[in-house]
Amino acid sequence: MKKHIFVNLRWRYLVFVGIFFITFSCDEKLETQPQGVLDPLTVVSSAENIDNLIIGVYGMLNGYNPSTGSAWQTSVTNWVYGDITSDDAYKGSELTDQGPALEIEMFSHTESNSYFNAKWRALYEGVKRSNDALRALNNSEFLSADAKAERIAEVRFLRGHFYFDLKKIFDNVPYLDENSETFFVKNFGGEELTWAHIEADFQSGIDNLPTTQAQSGRPIKAAAYAYLGKALLYQSKFSEAKTAFDWVVNSNAFSLVSEYEAIYDPSKKAENTETVFVVHHSIGDGAAGDANGDYGSILSYIQGGPGGCCGFYVPTQDIVNAHKTQGGLPLLPSADGIATHNAAPVNSDYGIPSDAAFSPYTGEVDPRLDFNIGRRGIPFKDWGVHPGTDWARDPVAQGVFSQKKRFIRKDQDAFAGNGAWGEQTTAIDYHIIRYADVLLMLAEAEVEIGSLSRATELVNMVRERAKNSSYIQNEAGNANAANYSIELYPDFISQDIARRAVRFERRLELSFEGHRFFDLVRWGIAKARIDDYKAFESSFNPNGTGYIPYISNINFTVGKNEYFPIPAGQIDLSSQGGEATLQQNPGY
C-alpha cells in the first residue's frame, strides 16, 4: 500500500520537474539588444538622421574630445603648434606647468610628447567622422542627387580642413577616405596624404556647395575657393592661388567688418561678414561643462585676473615691439627676416611690481597692439587697467603681457559658461579663415606674381579697417590709451619690400590666431626669424633684471622642426606583420 502511494507521488513530481525544464525557452532573451544607443542601421535610416551624422562631423571641429586628451592639446586654435612655437607667444604659466608644451616651444620635444598624440587623434577622429558620413551619404536613398552632391561637398570640405591641419602640423600622414578598407595606411611610399587629396576635397566644395547657406557654420562655395587658395599658397602655386582668391573677392560674399574688435565679439556673430569659415562656439547648450565653448582656450585666461586661471599663452616682447610704427608704418624686417623693430623696445614692466611706478611706452604704435595684447597701464577690455605683474602668473619666468583675443568683456558674462576649474569657456568663435586672411593671402600671391600695386591695395584694405576702428581709450575714456599711429602704405617700390610688408602685415593682423609658425615655415624663414627673436630676448634686460631665462634654450633645427614628429604611440600601434606602417618624420 505504502509503496503504491509513493510510486504515484513520484510520477506526479516528475511531471512537475519536467515542466520546469521544458518551459525554459530562452532564445528570445538571449537575443537582447544594446540598450540606449543607436544601431548603425538607424543612423542611416532617414535624411534627418544622416544630417545628424554630418553635425557629428562638425562636432569635432573645435578639436575637443575627452578621449584624445586635454582640450588645450587639441584645440582648433593651434595656440600650441602655431603660436608659442613662433616669435609671437610664450607657453606661459609656471615654467614646469604643462612641461610638454614648454618642450614644444623650445623644440626639445620628442616623438613621445603627449600633445602630438592627442592632436593627431583628434584630427583623425574628424577624418573618420567625415568618412563615416560620406559612406552614409553615398548609400543614402533619401536625398535627391543634387542634395546628395551638396551634402557630400560639405562633408568633404570638412575633411579637407582636418587634412589641411594634419598636413601643416605633421606633413607626412596617412590618407584614408570613405573607400579605405584598412586603418593601417602608410605615411610614406604612395599611401600618404598629398596636397592633391586636399585640393580635391575643396574642389568638391567649389563644384557643389551653394553660394549661400541658411546656417552660418556651413561652408559656401566661396569658402571652398578660399581654402583651396590657401592650399595652393602652401605649395607656392601663386597664380593658381590668385585665381582662387580672386574668385572669393569677386564673389562679394564677404567683407571686412568695420571695427577690428568686433571680429571676435560673440555678441556680433550674426553681422560678422568677415567670416569665411568659422568654428562656432556655444555655451549653455546642454553639453556637460560647456565643452562646446572655446574649451581649448581655458588655460589662457589671466591668473589672478580676468578668467582666474591659468596664465598660459603669453605675448612676447618681440611681438609687442613689432607694433611700433614710424609715421604710421611698421618697422619692416630685413630681407632675411632680421627684425629692425627690436632696436628700441617698447618699455616693459618686467621685474616691476604692480605697486611700483611704471610709465607706459609713449612712442607710436599700431592700434592693433592694444586690441590684441594686454599690457600694463592700458585698459584691458572692460576689466580695468592692466596692472602688469599682478596679472602674470609667474612674471619672472613667463613675462608680463596677456593675450586678449580669446577674452570676453566683463559685461558679456552671458557668453561665458563653466570650465573644469574656475575659468570659464566662452562662446567666442575661432575663425579658421576670415576675409582679412584671404586678402592678405591674395596679396602674397600678387607679390610673388609681381602685381605690386594690387598687393598694396589689398594690404591697405586691411590696414584701413584697423586705422578706422575705434581705438582703445584711456581709463577716463577721454583720449586714446596710447600713441596710436597707423597709415596706409604708398605703392610698394619693389617686390622685396612688398613681400616683407605683406608678411609683416599678416603677423600684425592675424596675431594669436594660430597661424604664425606655419607661415614662417612655408616662407622658409622659420630658423632665421626664431634665432633672431631668441637672440633679442636672450639679451633683453628691461629693468636690470635680465629677461625670461629659458628663451636662450630655444633651438630650432632646420630640416627637422618645420614639422612635428609622428606620435610615437601611433607608430607603435601601426605595426602590421611586424612592420610599422607609419614612419617617423625626418630628423626625429
Selected range binding another protein among 51-59, 80-88, 461-469, 482-490, rule: CB under 8 A: 51-59
29 contacts another protein (rule: CB under 8 A): yes
Contact in structure between 350 and 437 (CB atoms under 8 Å): no
Cell numbers given for 413? 558674462
Provide the mask over 419-458, with x wherever binding to another protein is found by CB under 8 A and - wherever it is not.
Answer: --xxx---x-x-----------------------------
Considering only residues 108, 212, 236, 494, which one is a binding residue for another protein as defined by CB under 8 A?
A: 108
Of the residues 87, 88, 97, 165, which one makes contact with another protein according to CB under 8 A: 97
Name which position in 343, 545, 558, 586 contacts another protein (CB under 8 A). 545
Residue 535 touching another protein (CB under 8 A): no
- 10 or 144: CB nearest another protein: 10
The correct pick among 188, 195, 238, 550 for binding another protein (CB under 8 A) is: 550
CA torsion, ordered 432, 276, 333, 466, to nearest 10 deg: -120
Helix (H) or strand (E) holding 224: helix 221-234
By CB under 8 A, the residues from 116 to 145 that bind another protein are: 117, 120-121, 124-125, 127-129, 132
Query: 266 to 325, contacts with another protein by CB under 8 A?
Result: 266, 269-270, 278, 280-292, 303-304, 308-310
Residues pairing with 360 in the sheet? none
Is 21 among the residues that bind another protein (CB under 8 A)?
A: yes
Give the residue carrying C-alpha cell 573677392.
249
Inter-CA distances, 82 with 47, 208, 294, 347, Å: 38, 31, 17, 26
- Residue of 456, 469, 574, 585 that binds another protein (CB under 8 A): 574
Q: Are 54 and 102 contacting, i.e. CB atoms less than 8 angstroms apart? A: no
User: What secondary structure letter does DSSP report for 198?
Assistant: H
Return the residue matching grid coordinates 610673388.
448
496-515 burial string, b = 16+ CB within 10 Å, else e? Answer: eebbbbbbbbbbbbbbbbbb
**Pick 378 or 582: Cβ nearer another protein:** 582
Report the C-alpha gap between 553 and 561 in whole angstroms.
Answer: 15
Q: Does 553 bind another protein (CB under 8 A)?
A: yes
Assess 22 for contact with another protein (CB under 8 A): yes
Among 65, 468, 473, 474, binds another protein (CB under 8 A): 65
Q: Which stretch binds another protein (CB under 8 A): 199-207, 252-260, 434-442, 570-578?
A: 570-578
Residue 287 CB partners (closer than 8 Å, separation 6+):
none
- Interface stretch with another protein, choices 110-118, 255-263, 478-486, 501-509 (CB under 8 A): 110-118
Binder of another protein out of 45, 47, 56, 195 (CB under 8 A): 56
> Least separation, in Å, of the C-beta of 118 and another protein?
8
Amino acid sitting at position 84: I
- Kindly indicate which of the ranges 48-56, 242-250, 318-326, 448-456 contains the residues binding another protein, using the contact rule CB under 8 A: 48-56
Which CB sits closer to another protein, 14 or 558? 14
Stretch that binds another protein, among 56-64, 256-264, 359-367, 440-448 (CB under 8 A): 56-64
Q: Which of 103, 85, 87 is nearest to 95 (CA)?
A: 103
Distance CA 512, CA 87 (A): 11
Stretch of 203-211, 326-334, 372-380, 393-401 contacting another protein, by CB under 8 A: 393-401
Q: How far apart are CA 540 and CA 547, in angstroms?
A: 6
- Where does this chain touch another protein (CB under 8 A) — which range of 240-248, 249-257, 467-475, 578-586? 578-586
In 10 A of CB 65, how many CB atoms? 17
Residues 200-259 interacting with another protein (rule: CB under 8 A): 215-218
DSSP state of 477: S
Residues that bind another protein (rule: CB under 8 A) add up to a total of 140
Residue closer to another protein by CB (options 291, 461) is 291
Among 65-73, 439-447, 462-470, 516-524, the segment contacting another protein (CB under 8 A)? 65-73
- Choose between 236 and 545: whose C-beta lies nearer to another protein: 545
Task: Please identify, among the stretches 36-44, 137-145, 451-459, 482-490, the one whose residues bind another protein according to the rule CB under 8 A.
Answer: 36-44
Please say which residue, 157 or 492, places its beta carbon nearer to another protein: 157
Q: Hunting for cell 600678387 — which residue is that? A: 446
Residue 146's H or E segment, with its range, is: helix 145-170
Task: Find out whether 166 and 193 touch, Cβ atoms under 8 Å.
Answer: yes
Pairs from 97-104 (Cβ < 8 Å, separation ≥ 24): 97/310, 97/312, 98/72, 98/299, 98/312, 101/312, 102/550, 104/80, 104/564
Sort strands 89-92 and 275-279 into parallel, antiparallel or unpaired. Answer: unpaired
What is the rounded CA–CA span in Å between residue 96 and residue 374? 23
Task: State which of residues 142, 149, 184, 542 lies at the interface with another protein (CB under 8 A).
Answer: 184
Residue 492: phi and psi, rounded to 5, are -65, 135
Nearer Cβ to another protein, position 67 or 478?
Answer: 67
